[in-house]
Structure 1
């Protein structure tokens, strides 16, 4: 794989430069090389060659990042789990992927049922950095996102998919990192945006600045931008909603690039944010996990490029080798200017959900175009293609929402809430917005008031914290639409959280 060879070269050529700043401690590319070699030696001498899917506990340390590269050099995939997520959920992920080995930098790993490589206590026994020969169809990682049936669904991504992503971003003349750049890495490694925030800095020889667990994320980012003079920011839009009160204090000419994704970027706050970064190019990226992070972008300029729909900045045009198609319910292309579901085709598309044929049939289809069969992924996002061939984001086609940048199926929350409840009553999960414009989760219960502590304690054992509703309302009788469906829009009126 060309991108892995390029990572190897970058590590060698930038040995004296910093690769990571973690909680104000710096690590050089030489430090990183040593960790990669140690972990690779352990992989080669511990893990059977036939084992391709390796669990990775995503701690915020140099060993965890080095583990990814060590696995890739061997043509193996990492299956990341967050140490703060309920153990039941992480065990389920490992069981679903038939994982036997786990790499964990925690001093005392809790994954006693697996063969654990403790990456923080390895002896100084080194393998080299030369990548092994392997097929590009090998998996590079599997990320698990929220699922509609109460269980997470796996999205496998191949090395060919990642190679296509790197090739597409390299083809963009407006975006070029270098080894002088100081890059924000705010994402947990189970979240797909983390791929671009560690991969592209490593390829360029840049330094990544991470966010320590347990800190107030938006305030720590504010500190990093000011004190470390960051030059490249990749963020979810909700972060700048929280930073908005500090905008008068932010004037950072050092920032060259700011990329957004993982949620709708509103034009009013984007303009205010661009005023804080006088020398910055802002990109509104679009792309689901199923299409290897990015599929295209819109270059936002407050004076010239301000295209938006209902106040949400356009998602622009597809990147190299990516195809956008807007279809109706019969997967037929709709005319320019009409709303439909956005579908993506091209070399970055996942092979399909992990062991979930039913979902694959719903989410992927093949279309004949110019004598070729093109496989498309149905994003669930409603979009419009305008006369300039720009794509405008309208909203979600289903009940999937973005919370803190994470994609959440509301039906999964409902599933777990109802599972624990002894009462056979309606429960509806809703995305509601606070006074800062950030999405939060609410749970509407069709009942008189009762103690929900058992339900919430149960949900905490089944879902990560960002999926636990913060607001509960008891409603004696749910409103219904004319066709008999529960009227979610009316339900939201019961949640006044401003």
Structure 2
């Protein structure tokens, strides 16, 4: 029995807190949910982009035609098809067409991804067909025997082909994460995984027909699937942004974003927003409080390998803590020690995820699969769990506190420091809306606070008042804005370069 070392009370709470609700998923194939919306309201607007629109009926017909073309090109269930595009209406046709053909789509932003990365994606995923846009076709690395289709110029058949037999455990998409080795890792996510989060509450975000959902994020980021498929599966209108993120958000009813992207949007300028969900990186408490005062604000957590997010919590601005909540339906979360043993409630450990969220694994990387995926002793035979590398603990009332990453625990002067703890203190300083703390060298930390008028001396004193001396940053740099990666997260290497430049100038 895997819990016999715990007290009876902790055994009970381990199960009670760690298991999400068991619910039925209404449709195991997410594109079939989109098809139902098209059948129910064919003239409703599915998406708009820079003045152009497409209805659900048109989107469904074009995607059917593309699926027929892909099947004629030899695409079969279980295959992978590249979707190397920019934000656009043809992007949606390509995505749905690939799913209708039974294949998994592999999204890359053709305007941002370097050619070497695109080439590695093609080789690792063993694609035979890549969909793109005509203006970017020259950037697609196309090995011999591959077929490239320009979604916005090549004619499609007028009639749909036969419907492939797609199963819930077939791949829906393959996301290439940044990885820790510098080589992107391809994560295969199944239809069952995706339907479980997008078609149940609270992951469905209460999206209703006619709701406007902005498409803000990089298509290569898994949260973009939440925006796109979450919207279309529930009959909403996807507002595909141009360069102006705030303009796309202004008319939104539901927003999905990283905290970094959301921090650039003024809630007062978004009067219709009813629901907001953030994930991808820790959310600053001031940002959560500001939005939660106006809308249902969900703080969420989960790596790509656990299908977008696997914990969610609606935040109350009066709550003492900003937590990541509990497991989403049909999912589990375990707080374990280094030997994968369950910890008593309240102790800090590493979070492992189980249940329907656990993805099918990494492409062509058996060693990494063995390191990060393991048999789930708590759910039993036939189940796997995933090592998130997130640190957490259960509060007494069964909420998960996110305490940073295992790789964000650093040693400074021989002492262990959790970088997010330092940043949280800084974010409590008057006027500070965002803070990031990084290890500069073996003896010091450097913090960055935003906006630029934050009092750095007051911020340093605030840390010194509540944390040990070795947690106090040697330098705090106020910035007008924090640099972002192309996936809408804080760009930590860029911050370290800024710190080096600042030090060089000071000398």
TM-score w.r.t. length of structure 2: 0.73
> What residue number does 2:172 align with?
140
Q: Which residue in the other structure is 2:470 paired with?
A: none
Distance 1:272 1:135, change over 3 A: closer
Preserved CA contact (<8 Å) 1:85 1:465? no
Q: Aligned pair 1:284/2:305, yes or no?
A: no
Shift of 1:289: 0.3
| Residue 204 (str. 1) matches residue 234 (str. 2) | yes
Q: Which one of 393, 398, 407 corresponds to residue 389 of structure 1?
A: 398
- The structure-2 alpha-carbon separation of the partners of 1:64 and 1:371, relative to structure 1 and needing over 3 Å to count, comes to closer
Q: Are positions 1:222 and 2:250 aligned together?
A: no
Alignment of 1:472-491 (within 5 A): 472=497
> What residue in structure 2 maps to residue 271 of structure 1?
289
Give the distance between the partners of 2:75 and 2:313, measured in 1 at CA.
45
Distance in 2 separating the partners of 1:370 and 1:184 = 37
CA distance in 1, matches of 2:378, 2:240: 44
Is 1:91 the counterpart of 2:91? The answer is no
Query: Is the alpha carbon distance of 1:235 and 1:269 closer, same or farther for their aligned partners in structure 2, counting shifts above 3 Å?
Result: same
Tell me whether 1:104 sits opposite 2:159 in the alignment. no
Q: Does 1:191 align with 2:212?
A: no
Deviates more, 1:85-94 or 1:24-33: 24-33
Per-residue deviation, 1:269:
2.4
Match of 1:63 among 71, 90, 98: 90
Separation in 2, partners of 1:123, 1:270: 47
Secondary structure at the residue paired with 2:218? coil
Whether contact under 8 Å (1:342, 1:379) holds in the other structure is yes
Instruction: Encode CA deviations 1:291-326: one digit per residue, 9 max, x unaligned.
Output: 1112120111224xx242xxxx20001011111100
The equivalences for 1:352-431 within 5 A come to 352-369=361-378, 372=381, 374-399=383-408
Distance in 2 (CA, whole Å) between partners of 1:251 and 1:50 is 44
Q: Deviations over 1:32-85 (max 9, x none)?
A: 223213322321222343771111112211111111111111210111222121
Offset, 1:348? 1.8
Greater alpha carbon shift after TM alignment, 333-342 vs 3-12? 3-12
- The reply to whether residue 234 of structure 1 matches residue 243 of structure 2 is no
1:25 CA displacement: 2.6
189 and 131 in structure 1: CA distance in 2 versus 1, 3 angstrom threshold: farther
Contact 1:296 1:317 in 2 (8 A): yes
Give the CA deviation at 1:99.
Answer: 1.6
Equivalent positions of 1:164-183 (< 5 A) are 164-167=196-199, 170-172=200-202, 175-183=205-213
User: What secondary structure, in the 3-state scheme, does the structure 2 residue paired with 1:93 have?
Assistant: helix
Distance 1:368 1:496 in 2: 55
Q: Mean alpha-carbon deviation: is it higher for 154-163 or for 191-200?
A: 154-163
**Deviation at 1:124?**
4.9
Aligned match for 1:293, one of 308, 322, 336? 308
Count of matched residue pairs: 412
Match of 2:358 in 1: 349
Distance across 2 between alignment mates of 1:164 and 1:370? 17
What CA distance in whole angstroms lies between the structure 2 residues aligned with 1:314 and 1:465? 20
Identify if the C-alpha distance between structure 1 residues 201 and 10 changes in structure 2 by more than 3 Å, giving closer, same or farther: same
- Whether contact under 8 Å (1:183, 1:232) holds in the other structure is yes
SS in 2 for 1:183: strand
Cα 1:127–1:370 change in 2 (3 A) is: same
The offset of 1:282, in angstroms, is: 1.1
Give 1:13's match in structure 2, choosing from 31, 40, 55: 40
1:124-164, Cα deviation, whole Å (9 max, x unpaired): 52343874213322211111111222211111111222232
Correspondence for 1:316: 325
Secondary structure of the 1:95 match is helix
CA distance in 1, matches of 2:504, 2:339: 36
Whether contact under 8 Å (1:40, 1:126) holds in the other structure is no
**For 2:258 and 2:379, how far apart are their aligned partners in 1?**
37
Root-mean-square deviation (CA, aligned residues, Å) is 3.5
* Structure 1, unaligned runs of 5 or more: 403-409, 411-425, 438-459, 476-491
User: Against the structure 1 CA distance between its residues 155 and 26, is the aligned structure 2 distance closer, same or farther, given a 3 Å change threshold?
Assistant: same
Contact 2:298 2:315 in 1 (8 A): yes
Distance 1:301 1:87 in 2: 45
Aligned equivalent of 1:156, options 188, 195, 204? 188
Question: Counterparts of 1:374 and 1:33 in 2: how far apart (Å)?
Answer: 35
Equivalents in 2 of 1:100, 1:285: separation in Å? 36
Q: What are the ranges of 5 or more consecutive residues in structure 2 without an aligned counterpart?
A: 1-27, 410-418, 421-437, 453-484
Per the TM alignment, residue 178 of structure 1 is displaced from its structure 2 partner at its CA by 1.1
Deviation per CA, 1:201-252: give whole Å up to 9, x if none. 111111011222xx2xxxx2332343xx211111111124334xx56xx154
